[in-house]
Amino acid sequence: MSRIWTTRRDEKARRIKSIAHLTQNAILNKENIIEAMEALIQPGDRVVLEGDNQKQASFLSESLLQVNASKVNNLHMIMSSVSRPEHLDIFEKGIAKKIDFSFSGPQSLRVSQMIEDGTLEIGEIHTYLELYGRLFIDLIPNVALVAADKADRFGNLYTGPNTEETPAIVEATAFKDGIVIVQVNEIVDELPRIDIPASWVDFVVEADQPYQLEALFTRDPKLISELHILIGMMTIRGVYEKHQVKSLNHGIGFNTAAIELLLPTYAESLGLKGKIAKNWVLNPHPTLIPAIESGWVDTVHCFGGEVGMEAYCAARPDVFFTGKDGSLRSNRAFAQVAGQYAIDMFVGSTLQMDMRANSSTVVSGRLAGFGGAPNMGHDPKGRRHSSEAWLDLITSDDPLSKGRKLVVQTVETFQNGNTPVFVESLDAIEVAKQAHLATAPVMIYGDDVTHVVTEEGVAYIYKAEGEEERKQALSAVAGVTSVGSKADAAVISSLRERGIVAYPEDLGIHRNQANRSLLAAKNVRDLVEWSDGLYNPPAKFKNW
């Protein structure tokens, strides 16, 4: 008895043949999608559903919810982002059973509840790149359900500005005899460019409406406060300038939006243009427009697109990556690789930080996941190339010592509603117990953090010697939280002298300088003007 080595391929052929009556080459009619799914997806399958950060295969997820659960059940779902109600409804209906994911921001409360109720079984929570890696090792998909802008009649795909993670998912599925089903907004005769070749695609279906796309990286400058601006100014002087940071990523948030809008004003007044913040890996943040237009930004590689930024990016190909058709090419997998390995600095924010600088956005009752932060917010130990900023963080004279990536956390000491950010112990520890996770869901570990910036000052914790001194440096910038009240005046004074803590005055900043008049754009309309009318914000950001 010789073993058969083509079971996956044979099974794929069988399933495809079983819906031959529904297809014309690669094209499936939307009316037949549920019948097709019931044949193409089998109980227990591993199914990757595209759920990116911004782009959602919304027609396919809605259709999956409508399959007959006696035919399709116990699926093991793999999703970067749990974003839409039906992403969880499929578990309540028994269509799906287990999930491996990265981020569940909008659904984090419900995820927690469903785990408690036993309707959802968690595999693991991942950072994006880690999840893509597992698609080639121990989470190889049987089926991929993804979204693209356009397809031609052969099944070639155009993903336009929102390529995101589609190629990574499709590659892992297509080249292991999985079935790739793509919803497109439109089937056309000729594509502007080909992002994914038809050889990798099994079925294309024109959806009833365009895939869901969220403007996740748009921050309205009118919501930037003077605290954000103060933190931004200290970060520019105390981190960007001090370490000569050239290449970087910014997380989502008003702290970093403030920095982007301070580059052409405050940072320009310091003579920093051309010296810092030149090469970016970043979604197309609208708040970066003034810096781009002022000549601050050499290049930006994007994880995904951003609603309304399409025409602007297309008109700035010296800065953005674009295809032969002229529109943006994003790529989440490569942007995450670059964000991990090729930049000087990651700047993020958090909801909770403990006294060892461990931080998490997982707070009581919410299992939010991680997104890309763990990947970019750590010192990649495989890195071997140096840069000025990276070398500047060497604190030892060991002949084998090496530099470090800057991992900067910018936080206000209190969140809205008087909730302190600095806490004795992370909620994540309790959440791990409740959700039966093997380890606590920490977003960024304290030993990876190099700088913490609050409205009180900058803690250069990479310089602190020993755990006790790290705690004191953190306390020194933790304000009137219970952690901050542990700060000792004499110790703080010594830390400031040794450059381990800097207060605004140590950086030559007066608190009353931190004024909204420093922002290069004060509202979304200003951003549109800076862009010469090329930026077209979504309606919810237009109030003029």
Range 211-250, binding a copy of itself (CB under 8 A): 246-247
Nearer to a copy of itself, 341 or 414 (CB): 341
| Alpha-helix residue ranges (DSSP H) falling in 355-511 | 373-376, 388-392, 428-434, 466-476, 489-497
Q: How far apart (Å, rounded) are the C-alpha atoms in residues 513 and 494?
A: 26
* Number of other CB atoms surrounding residue 346 within 10 Å: 28
Measured over the CA atoms of residue 37, residue 40, residue 45 and residue 51, the dihedral's sign is: negative
Interface with a copy of itself (CB under 8 A), residue total 98
Cα distances (Å, whole numbers) of residue 43 to 78, 178, 183, 203, 365 = 15, 14, 22, 20, 31
Q: Please provide the distance, in angstroms rounded to a whole number, between the alpha carbons at the two ends of the chain.
A: 75
Residue choice 49, 333, 351, 363 for contact with a copy of itself (CB under 8 A):
333
Q: Does 125 bind a copy of itself (CB under 8 A)?
A: yes
Q: Does 384 bind a copy of itself (CB under 8 A)?
A: yes
- Bridge partners (DSSP) listed for residue 248: 280, 345
Least separation in angstroms between residue 467's CB and a copy of itself is 12
Considering only 136-144, 259-267, 481-489, 523-531, which stretch makes contact with a copy of itself by CB under 8 A? 136-144
Binding track, positions 1-40, relative to a copy of itself; x by CB under 8 A: --xxxxxxx-------------------------------
Least separation in angstroms between residue 237's CB and a copy of itself is 23
Q: Does 351 bind a copy of itself (CB under 8 A)?
A: no
Number of H helices, E strands in the chain: 20, 24
Q: Which of residues 510-539 bind a copy of itself (CB under 8 A)?
A: none
Nearer to a copy of itself, 26 or 224 (CB): 26
Considering only 196-204, 409-417, 469-477, 520-528, which stretch makes contact with a copy of itself by CB under 8 A? 196-204
Type of residue at 252: I
Q: Which of residues 434-463 bind a copy of itself (CB under 8 A)?
A: 438-442, 445, 448
Q: Which of residues 261-280 bind a copy of itself (CB under 8 A)?
A: 279
Q: Does 498 bind a copy of itself (CB under 8 A)?
A: no
Residue choice 30, 93, 98, 134 for contact with a copy of itself (CB under 8 A):
134
Q: Does 177 bind a copy of itself (CB under 8 A)?
A: yes
- Rg from Cα positions in the chain: 24
Q: Which of residues 72-91 bind a copy of itself (CB under 8 A)?
A: none
Q: Does 337 bind a copy of itself (CB under 8 A)?
A: yes
Q: Does 71 bind a copy of itself (CB under 8 A)?
A: no
Q: Does 380 bind a copy of itself (CB under 8 A)?
A: yes
Nearer to a copy of itself, 124 or 506 (CB): 124
Q: Does 136 bind a copy of itself (CB under 8 A)?
A: yes
* Number of other CB atoms surrounding residue 402 within 10 Å: 15
Nearest to 422 by CA among 434, 433, 430, 414: 414
Beta strand extents in 317-438 (DSSP E only): 345-348, 352-353, 359-360, 406-410, 414-415, 419-420
Q: Does 317 bind a copy of itself (CB under 8 A)?
A: yes
Least separation in angstroms between residue 232's CB and a copy of itself is 23
Q: Does 199 bind a copy of itself (CB under 8 A)?
A: yes
Least separation in angstroms between residue 468's CB and a copy of itself is 16
Least separation in angstroms between residue 401's CB and a copy of itself is 7
Least separation in angstroms between residue 37's CB and a copy of itself is 21
Q: How far apart (Å, rounded) are the C-alpha atoms in residues 158 and 144?
A: 17
Nearest to 395 by CA among 385, 404, 384: 404
Which single residue is written with the structure tokens 């038809």? 198
Nearest to 48 by CA among 102, 118, 107, 117: 102
Least separation in angstroms between residue 204's CB and a copy of itself is 15
Q: Mention every residue, 6+ apart, whose C-beta is less than 8 A from residue 96.
A: 47, 73, 74, 75, 76, 77, 90
Residue choice 34, 69, 216, 429 for contact with a copy of itself (CB under 8 A):
429
